[in-house]
Amino acid sequence: MTAEALLTLEVEPTRSSVTEPTLLAVIRAARDGDERAFEEIMLASERRVALLAWRILGDAEEVKEATQETFLRVFRHLSQFDDQLDFFGWLFRIAVNVCRDIEKRRRRRWIFAPADEGMSVASDARAADDVLAARDDAALLTRAIDALPAKERLAVILREVQELSTEEVAAILGSSPATVRVQVSKARSKLRVWIEAWRGGAR
């Protein structure tokens, strides 16, 4: 998705907020103990979970960890899934919680890391020069999203990139639809300003 596409999306999506009948049948089979059915669920959704985790974490090893842990939790709690809801919304809620746990562990490692290790982490952060040098729309958009505050970043990723409804995003983040709308609006405004500024600086 290009920067222009993200910044010009309508406020409300057109996607359905219920699980497709075919996928729902597979979910029910998995709940009844069909291992192949659960593998089908993973095949249908693993890439989307990994992309979401990458948007949040930005580290290949952490993405792999998050994806594995997400499906482990799905396996453990599949019996709790409400058939009347959208499976992907439920799945993304689990994935976001897993990513948050990984981010918490990462912050603890940084806090208790030796001084030289802390300097290494700092030196590995994306520099402003790298952002200014990136002319590709996708690269600019990724860096702009990464720069957002955590709540706005999650809201805009789930709402605009994953194309969940405002209500689904609110349920995943444990907030109200009104709060999500405000967060997405702020995020889009910041993204527009940053992307335009970075493009100007790259000329």
Least confident of 105-119, 121-135, 175-189: 121-135
Judge if 181 and 137 occupy the same domain. yes
Comparing CA positions, the residue from 60, 142, 45 lying closest to residue 94 is 45
| Amino acid 136: pLDDT | 53
Judge if 158 and 101 occupy the same domain. no
Judge if 26 and 101 occupy the same domain. yes
Please indicate, yes or no, if residue 10 is contained in any of the structural domains: no
Residue 34 pLDDT > 70: yes
Q: Are 92 and 172 in contact (CB under 8 A)?
A: yes
Residue 122 pLDDT > 90: no
Residue 173 pLDDT > 60: yes
Q: What does 33-93 look like in DSSP terms, one character per residue?
A: T-HHHHHHHHHHHHHHHHHHHHHHH--HHHHHHHHHHHHHHHHHHGGG--TTS-HHHHHHH
Taken in order 51, 55, 58, 59, the sign of the CA dihedral is negative
| Amino acid 64: pLDDT | 93
pLDDT tier at 17, thresholds 50, 70, 90: low
Average pLDDT, integer, range 116-132: 42
Rounded Cα distance between 21 and 97, Å, is 27
Comparing CA positions, the residue from 13, 16, 5, 36 lying closest to residue 137 is 5
| Amino acid 43: pLDDT | 93
**pLDDT tens digits, one per residue of 59-116:** 889 999 999 999 999 999 999 999 988 899 899 999 999 998 898 887 665 444 444 4
* Two tokens, residue 200: 């100007």
List Cα–Cα distances, 171 to 109, 129, 167, 168, 176, in angstroms: 30, 37, 6, 5, 8
Q: Can you give the pTM of this predicted structure? A: 0.63
- The CATH number of whichever domain residue 62 belongs to comes to 1.10.1740.10
Judge if 70 and 150 occupy the same domain. no
| Amino acid 2: pLDDT | 46
Domain that holds residue 155: 126-203
Judge if 35 and 105 occupy the same domain. yes
Q: What is the mean pLDDT of the chain?
A: 77
Judge if 22 and 119 occupy the same domain. yes
The residue among 130 and 74 whose pLDDT is bigger is 74
Under 8 Å CB-to-CB from 14, ≥6 apart: which residues? none
| Amino acid 8: pLDDT | 42
**pLDDT tens digits, one per residue of 155-171:** 888 888 777 888 888 88
Please indicate, yes or no, if residue 145 is contained in any of the structural domains: yes
Residue 146 pLDDT > 70: yes
Boundary of a domain, candidates 105, 125, 145: 125
Please indicate, yes or no, if residue 4 is contained in any of the structural domains: no
Please indicate, yes or no, if residue 149 is contained in any of the structural domains: yes
Judge if 142 and 119 occupy the same domain. no
Boundary of a domain, candidates 85, 108, 125: 125
Q: Are 132 and 142 in contact (CB under 8 A)?
A: no
Judge if 178 and 105 occupy the same domain. no
Judge if 138 and 195 occupy the same domain. yes
Please state the domain count of the chain: 2
pLDDT tier at 57, thresholds 50, 70, 90: confident
